[in-house]
């Protein structure tokens, strides 16, 4: 065979093999329920209707997505979210073997899963799950996120009960039983399915609290773990409910080439930091400013230059986001490394397998996220910027958890239930320095001996 003809033959063979490989990959992708690539039971359509442990989850009559079978008890629903009981969806323990140590109350809060709602919208291999938590009083925040995030949101929604009755600032919930919250969340999910951009998955949990005074000790990290348990995608965005991501970010991520780049970079234990901003006005004008800011980076820059925005909490806790260097971020269109410093608590996109469990002993306000980011860093996660994404805080009233943390002295003195947050933080920091820190949770997960841990 002449050389030229031989080279053409080799090239044609290579192209044929590539096409065959692509066909196999496409067939494998479409043959899995919901189009998942990661070996997790599909939850993309109501027809699939399969969730944790293969439990059938029928579509609701209102068309608001997939809901838990009403015949299941709260304890059975809660068990479905327990890592590792089935070895597959919605949380796959063999894939995400996070270390934790189970503790009993009052060291960690007791949350009862009442119900789950899963979006019936089609899942895509380029989806990134926004993982968040909130109280039922603040569903309006979740509505804002669903309007700006064009992918999956996994949200844990919390309701506190005293003597079996709801404690809430909402008149339609205050003093009523759990069914009122369930109806409110169900209606909200139905609206989100019809109007929102997101694919909204909700896990609704309640917490029995012994007194009104303790209601404000919001179980923030326990809720974050519940939302993590519900997330299924390879990459997640860890974000609080009062922040809005820029609208263009998910449009960009859904481009296959950009998603593969994100997947590749985060696969090297990179946490992609989304710079956080806040409005100078904390009222209705500030809300409008936040909505303007998420439209484009150009709009954000103009508002920042006019003094209508600043870096989040830079006026009173600059360690939280100082390392991001907001000025540098505006000056470059390139990614840059962000050095970790103690107190750093950015909002990051990261591969789910590199996200450790949150320590559920942290309740109320302060240090809950700081400890988690410190743990991620100790486990080898490094941080870098992206010119394509950012988040903006939407103003809202001061959290009850802040007021109660101050009023009860939970931060300054030893409480009857657990050590003060200040000592808890110091102990956690010391354990991380010694490479023996293990987050405390209310559920079981892998509990190997410390000398065998490979995380540090």
**β strands within 326-442, DSSP E:** 337-338, 347-351, 382-385, 391-393, 440-441
Task: Label residue 39 by pLDDT band (50, 70, 90).
Answer: very low
Q: What is the DSSP string of 188-232?
A: HHHHHHHH-SSEEEEEEEEEE-S-GGGTTS--HHHHHHHHHHH--
Residue that is written with structure tokens 């991001």 in the block: 324
pTM: 0.79
pLDDT of residue 134: 97
pLDDT band for 370, please (50, 70, 90 cuts). Answer: very high
**Tens digit of pLDDT for each residue in 193-252?**
999 999 999 999 999 998 887 887 899 999 999 999 999 899 999 999 999 999 999 999
pLDDT at res. 44: 26
Q: How far apart are CA 172 and CA 152, in angstroms?
A: 28
Helix (H) or strand (E) holding 258: helix 256-266
Per residue in 245-303, pLDDT (tens digit) is 999 999 999 999 999 999 999 999 999 999 999 999 999 999 999 999 999 999 999 99
Which ranges constitute the DSSP H helices of 104-163?
A: 139-148
Phi and psi at 119, nearest 5°, equal -60, 140
Dump pLDDT digits (tens) for 373-411: 999 999 999 999 999 999 999 997 765 544 554 555 554
Number of Cβ atoms within 10 Å of the Cβ of 409 = 11
d(CA 184, CA 207): 17
Per DSSP, 33 falls in state G
Which stretch of 49-63, 216-230, 343-357 has the lowest confidence by average pLDDT? Answer: 49-63
Instruction: Give the pLDDT band of residue 10 (cuts 50, 70, 90).
Output: very low
């Amino acid at each position: 065979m002449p050389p030229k003809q031989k080279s053409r033959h080799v090239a044609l063979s290579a192209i044929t093999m590539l096409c065959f490989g692509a066909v196999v990959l496409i067939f494998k992708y479409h043959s899995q329920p919901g189009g998942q690539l990661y070996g997790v039971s599909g939850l993309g359509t109501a027809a699939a209707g399969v969730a944790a442990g293969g439990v059938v989850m029928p579509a609701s009559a209102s068309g608001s997505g997939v809901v838990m079978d009403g015949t299941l008890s709260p304890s059975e629903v809660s068990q479905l979210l327990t890592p590792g009981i089935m070895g597959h969806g919605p949380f796959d323990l063999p894939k995400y073997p996070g270390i934790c140590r189970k503790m009993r109350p009052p060291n960690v809060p007791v949350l009862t899963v009442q119900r789950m709602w899963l979006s019936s919208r089609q899942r895509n291999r380029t989806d990134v799950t926004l993982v968040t938590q909130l109280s039922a009083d603040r569903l309006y925040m979740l509505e804002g996120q669903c309007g700006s995030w064009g992918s999956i949101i996994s949200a844990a929604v919390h309701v506190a009960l005293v003597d079996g009755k709801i404690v809430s600032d909402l008149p339609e919930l205050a003093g009523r039983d759990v069914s009122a919250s369930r109806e409110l969340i169900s209606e909200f999910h139905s609206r989100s399915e019809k109007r929102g951009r997101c694919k909204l998955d909700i896990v609704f949990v309640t917490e029995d609290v012994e007194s009104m005074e303790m209601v404000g000790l919001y179980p923030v990290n326990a809720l974050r773990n519940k939302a993590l348990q519900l997330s299924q995608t390879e990459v997640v965005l860890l974000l609080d409910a009062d922040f809005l991501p820029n609208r263009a970010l998910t449009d960009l991520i859904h481009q296959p080439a950009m998603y593969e780049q994100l997947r590749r970079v985060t696969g090297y234990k990179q946490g992609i930091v989304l710079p956080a901003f806040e409005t100078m006005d904390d009222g209705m004008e500030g809300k409008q400013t936040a909505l303007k800011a998420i439209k484009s980076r150009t709009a954000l820059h103009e508002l920042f230059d006019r003094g209508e925005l600043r870096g989040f909490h830079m006026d009173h806790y600059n360690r939280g986001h100082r390392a991001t260097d907001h000025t540098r971020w505006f000056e470059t269109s390139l990614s840059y490394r962000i050095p970790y410093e103690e107190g750093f608590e950015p909002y990051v996109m990261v591969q789910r397998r590199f996200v450790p469990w949150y320590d559920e002993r942290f309740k109320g306000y302060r240090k809950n996220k700081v400890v988690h980011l410190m743990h991620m860093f100790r486990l080898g996660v490094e941080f870098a910027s992206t010119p394509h994404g950012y988040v903006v805080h939407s103003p809202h009233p001061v959290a009850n958890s802040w007021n109660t943390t101050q009023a009860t002295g939970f931060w300054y003195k030893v409480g009857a239930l657990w050590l003060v947050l200040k000592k808890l933080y110091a102990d956690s920091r010391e354990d991380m320095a010694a490479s023996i820190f293990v987050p405390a949770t209310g559920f079981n997960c892998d509990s190997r001996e410390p000398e065998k841990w490979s995380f540090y």
